[in-house]
Amino acid sequence: MQETYIVDYGAGNIGSVANMIKRVGGKAFIASSPQELEKAERIILPGVGSFDSGMGKLEASGMIEMLNEKVLVEKVPFLGICLGAQLCTKGSEEGTSKGLGWFDADTLKFKFSKEQNLKLPHMGWNYVKACKEHPILNELPQNSRFYFVHKYYLQAQNKQDILFSSEYGSTFASGLQKDNIIALQFHPEKSHKYGMRVMENFINL
């Protein structure tokens, strides 16, 4: 079983992600420095909070250069969750910081009409629809339900990067995938059996 390193940059629910990895039979390690990240065979970037704060904390951790090396050059399997997924885009309407830019995508705020009468954040259980084939989907039923908490969503310029879609006011991308990089807007670590399936598939990539 390969080891999964969770990036600890002060903006994520590290414990619940680590517990889910262990629950599905994986080995979870916490990386809070470039030196610790250097050994990673697969990487998870969790995150909650605002985009600019998250990027600021990631920059302060000194791990961006190592992340680029591991993910873009060595092509280790990578999973971004919630804010961690948004940080993989070019930037967010939530702030002014540049994102990692691993996807040709932006993070945009939900905008609803008064008639739609939808609340922000989009919080709770919602269905996700697979938009293409990928090993992360192994034995995952179509229209599985996952737990969401977000006001901003992923918008990819390249439609081939869309892994999952969901409905909230309109259709939005709830997951992106390109090469070894997966970005999920929902929280697999909080999504019971479906989340366990996704996490198990990831640690077996």
Q: What does DSSP assign to residue 140?
A: P
Three-class SS state of 177? strand
Name the active-site residue from 94, 131, 150, 187.
187
For residue 111, give every residue at least 6 positions away whose Cβ sits within 8 Å of its Cβ, in sequence order, or none. none
Reply yes or no on whether 115 is catalytic: no
Reply yes or no on whether 88 is catalytic: no
Reply yes or no on whether 187 is catalytic: yes
Neighbours of 112 (CB within 10 A): 13
Nearest Cα residue to 81 out of 1, 158, 159, 20: 20
Phi, psi of 188 (to 5 degrees): -60, -30
CA angle 19, 20, 24 (to 5 degrees): 115
Neighbours of 46 (CB within 10 A): 25
Q: How far is CA 185 from the centre of its chain?
A: 5
What is the rounded CA–CA span in Å between residue 201 and residue 71? 18
Name the active-site residue from 82, 94, 150, 200.
82
Name the active-site residue from 94, 131, 150, 189.
189
Q: What does DSSP assign to residue 203?
A: H
Which amino acids are annotated catalytic?
82, 187, 189
